[in-house]
A and B are shown apart, each in its own frame.
Chain A
Amino acid sequence: MSFITLNNLSKTYHTEAGEVRALKPTGLEIAEGSFLGIVGPSGSGKSTLLTLLGGLAKPSAGSLLIDGIDVYRMNEEKRADFRREYIGFVFQAYNLIPYLTAEENVMLPLAVTSMSSRKQRQAALTALQRVGLANRVGHLPNQLSGGEQERVAIARALVNNPPMILADEPTGSLDSSTSAEIMDLFQELNHEGQTILMVTHNVENRKYFDRVVSLRDGCVDVDEPKPTVKVAATG
């Protein structure tokens, strides 16, 4: 059974200029432990797909099952809990909170849990050690390099041990050697069993994925799956 199932998931935005069908009805099954790359030109629906996979915006139609849970049948608050438990986000441009140190940024998903501050700190340190930043815990984001900020963002995505990580252009702002380091880190995590879904423009990153879904005009254009993964693009 697949870990993530999209059943005719679609998203239409209503603007003053009219309807924009950002994602046409799409079916997709993704196995646990996948390292899936989502690629495509601007406006192809990549970000919309990632937003829907992250439980951040309601689809216009269709359903999304993650670990057997129908994500969009939950109310907004339950979905917030779900995101905290199930999804680690690595945003474009890091999206660290500027007034919090690296350690505090990593602790952020735990701040609204019942975990004690001491345990939060331990978990944050473990995550920062995992990404090789144990010596930068007290630094503010503006005191860190781009690569270091990206690592802090990855540590934040890992801190509560979520079953899946969604990454949006994580190497978009990095030079090629730092990009390679970050992609190596993602690959290591994937080899440890972490499911990772990543949107990227960078063709260099394709080699890290074990499956690539290419979108065009809101539809799955090309899918290069592993033999065990079934794809059904209906859009």
Chain B
Amino acid sequence: MKLTGIAIRNLERRKARMAFLIVGLMVGVATVVALLSLTSAMSADIQHKMENYGANILLTPKSNDLSLSYGGISLGGVSVDTRELNQDDLPKIETIPNSRNISAVAPKVLGAVEVNGAQVLIMGVDEKVEFHLKRWWSIAGEPIGAPDQLVAGSLVAAKLQLHPSDNVEISGETFVVSGILTETGSQDDNLLLAPLATAQRLLGKEGKVSFVEVAALCADCPVDDMVRQISSVLPDVKVNAIQQVVKTRMHALGEFRNFSLAVSLVVLFVGSLVVFVTMMGSVNERCHEIGIFRALGFRKHHVVRLILTEAGIVSIIAGAAGFVFGTMAAKGVLPLLVENAHGVVWNFVLGGGSVLLAILLGALAAIYPALHASKLDPADALRTL
């Protein structure tokens, strides 16, 4: 029999006390695990949504004029900027130091064309990149698959009575409407989408693009750095980061994380206090027993090790149980906080961390009672001798 055996026997015998200790510490660990799992799942959700958000850096021609539009209302004719970017300059974007953070470069050309007697805004796009970028687009029919195919926005289709497979004539050329864009509620509903080269030819803007959307948004992308880097390789281009929404959400998440940290600290403190008070009570209750151990030749460090071993066993159980309950609680709560979340996963690194945290707290809470026990005078502790 070794000290561990004595510790296990004591815990087996005093089940109620052990259960109390385990619950005290477990609640603390479970709270930390649940909050960490939640913040981690929410961060992952935001990152996932940001990656699906589309472009977050906008490249437009530099203009010395002040904008003549406000809140989506523009003064007719004046706001139409005739400046364009050179398509040949775009490969320079791929040369910036953070180019690996760029997931898509989507050039577009804009202009007005006449279709069935009506003026329509046509947007030439790199169809493969664009449809990948705008994942929320839903198309009735097929996306653009050939140079003579178009996709019509919902309002354009309604106004021009267009249906998939219909033919339309633009500047004497016949195009097939491959699909209709389901209503998005955005400006996209007013567009006629065409392949970039086709639109450039129809608008007489070969080799020119009106603006470029760059998708680089991810939780830890240095977007501001990338804006500077793109500006340096394309000095004549105005580069803006569209990250207001992201910043707001990240800020909210940061506040939630801070709140979680504060709650975790309080709960852990209370849990440690429970362990401390219980262990201290246990030591006082076991004075006599500790006196017997000392009389039989246990050194002080044997008594310390005995008490710490008991605390360690309790901590390991509490840490593992806290991890299980915390993860389950996070799984239960996450759907209430985030819609369509990917869910909380069983993170066994977090599990290991939970056990280590519990051991650390258990040891910290038990060290004073253990030292106190070791200092008991064996004669006083026994009293009977």
Contacts and interface: CB of A to CB of B under 8 A. Distances in A.
Interface of A: 47, 50-51, 54, 56-57, 76-77, 80-85, 89, 91-93, 95, 97-100, 104, 107-112, 117, 120, 156, 168
A82 B296 CA distance: 10
A112 B297 contact: yes
A48 B297 CA distance: 19
A34 to B, nearest CB: 20
A95 B385 CA distance: 11
Interface in B1-43: 1-3, 5-6, 9-10, 12-14
Contacts of A77: 299-300
Contacts of A80: 294, 297-300
Interface residues of B, number: 28
Given A57-B377, A117-B1, A108 B385 contact: no
Contacts of B10: 99
B3 A111 contact: yes
A81 B299 contact: yes
A75 to B, nearest CB: 11
B303 to A, nearest CB: 10
B297 A104 contact: no
Contacts, number: 89
A77 to B, nearest CB: 5
Contacts of B298: 80, 111-112
20 contacts: A56-B378, A77-B299, A80-B294, A80-B298, A80-B299, A81-B297, A82-B297, A83-B295, A83-B296, A89-B295, A89-B385, A91-B292, A92-B384, A97-B289, A104-B1, A109-B296, A111-B3, A112-B298, A117-B5, A156-B296
A109 B293 CA distance: 8
Nearest to B4: A111
Nearest to B302: A112
Given A99-B9, A104-B9, A112-B302, A117 B296 contact: no
B14 A89 contact: no
B79 to A, nearest CB: 86
Contacts of B292: 91, 95, 97, 108
